[in-house]
Amino acid sequence: MTCAFTEWVECLPAPNDTAQTTAILLMNHIFARFGLPTRVDSDRETHFTSEVMEHLWRLLGVKANFHISHRPQSSGQVERMNWTVISMLRKYVSSNHRDWDVKLPLVLMAIRATPHESTGVSPFEMMTG
């Protein structure tokens, strides 16, 4: 998940990509820490468009905005960040790839501490001042 304004990124290890797991992760790790957004932009993957998520968005009063299917440029900011996270993880994880979840917080720390070219400040500075 990437904040469009601050460029702050959150990545959460998940046992699967079901709508129920997505809803639990969003509630416990994103909304509980940062509060409720007015709008969430996402692709049209079923774990975002399911009945479970429709109910969650309605219950919380969050507007869900879905990007056009098969158009990665619709979610370019998130796609670029996904590529960056994966690229950095590949450099740091062991050859058996079993420790990626241990290295993920360090990768996120590096991304959050790096000044963004459009703002000149890091996502960390944008979030904390």
Q: How confident is the model at residue 98 (pLDDT cuts 50, 70, 90)?
A: confident
- Can you say how many angstroms the Cα of residue 9 is from the centroid of all Cα atoms in its chain? 6
Q: What percent of the chain has pLDDT over 90?
A: 61
The domain limits of the chain are 19-128
Q: Between the ranges 34-43, 69-78, 107-116, where is the mean pLDDT highest?
A: 107-116
**pLDDT at position 73 over 70:** no
User: Structure tokens of 7?
Assistant: 């460029």
pTM beyond 0.85 = no
pLDDT for the residue numbered 68: 66
Q: Helix or strand or coil: residue 64?
A: strand
Evaluate whether the domain defined by 19-128 bears CATH number 3.10.20.740: no
**pLDDT at position 59 over 60:** yes
Average the pLDDT over 8-17 and give the result.
Answer: 93
Judged on CB neighbours under 10 Å (0-12, 13-18, 19+), 95 is exposed
Residue, of 90 and 47, whose pLDDT is higher: 90
Q: How confident is the model at residue 110 (pLDDT cuts 50, 70, 90)?
A: very high
Rounded to whole angstroms, the Cα distance separating 57 from 112 reads 27
Rounded to whole angstroms, the Cα distance separating 122 from 129 reads 10
pLDDT for the residue numbered 92: 86
Determine how many CB atoms are found less than 10 A away from the CB of residue 92: 14
Residue type, 120: G
